[in-house]
Amino acid sequence: KQEVTQIPAALSVPEGENLVLNCSFTDSAIYNLQWFRQDPGKGLTSLLLIQSSQREQTSGRLNASLDKSSGRSTLYIAASQPGDSATYLCAVPNSGNTPLVFGKGTRLSVIA
């Protein structure tokens, strides 16, 4: 059974800092890994999807890496801004054509 863990649970940084969020998963036989952003009380916004054959994906100030063999992914946020404050969730399919197993998320606060 796939389990996803995210560290840290919460993070507070000053504006402008670069930061890394961590995600680990127990079953490395994944098709892809997805990072989401969730604002308080809101739905999920997909940030990046990394296919199992890829090592990383970039979108603007965000860079996500994937190491399947070690069961780890990181989300790197460059030059953080107060608008980046949100909860960041990573998720993987349980197996094959199945929906997503989520971590509990990292709650990020960027202080101006």
Partner 1 sequence: ETGVTQSPTHLIKTRGQQVTLRCSSQSGHNTVSWYQQALGQGPQFIFQYYREEENGRGNFPPRFSGLQFPNYSSELNVNALELDDSALYLCASSPGLAGAADTQYFGPGTRLTVL
Tell me which residues touch partner 1 (CB under 8 A).
4, 31-32, 34, 36, 41-46, 49, 51, 89, 91, 93-94, 96-105
Nearer Cβ to partner 1, position 45 or 70? 45
Neighbours of 81 (CB within 10 A): 12
State the minimum distance, in angstroms, from the CB of residue 7 to partner 1: 14
Instruction: Give the sign of the dihedral formed by CA 46, CA 23, CA 32, CA 57.
Output: positive
State the minimum distance, in angstroms, from the CB of residue 102 to partner 1: 3
State the minimum distance, in angstroms, from the CB of residue 112 to partner 1: 25
State the minimum distance, in angstroms, from the CB of residue 79 to partner 1: 25
Nearer Cβ to partner 1, position 10 or 79? 10
Nearer Cβ to partner 1, position 2 or 16? 2
User: Is the bond leading into 8 cis (omega within 30 degrees of zero)?
Assistant: yes
Nearer Cβ to partner 1, position 18 or 98? 98
- Scored b (16 or more CB within 10 A) or e, 29-66 reads ebeebbbbbeeeeeeeeebbebeeeeeebeeeebbbbb
Alpha-carbon distance 16 to 64, whole Å? 19
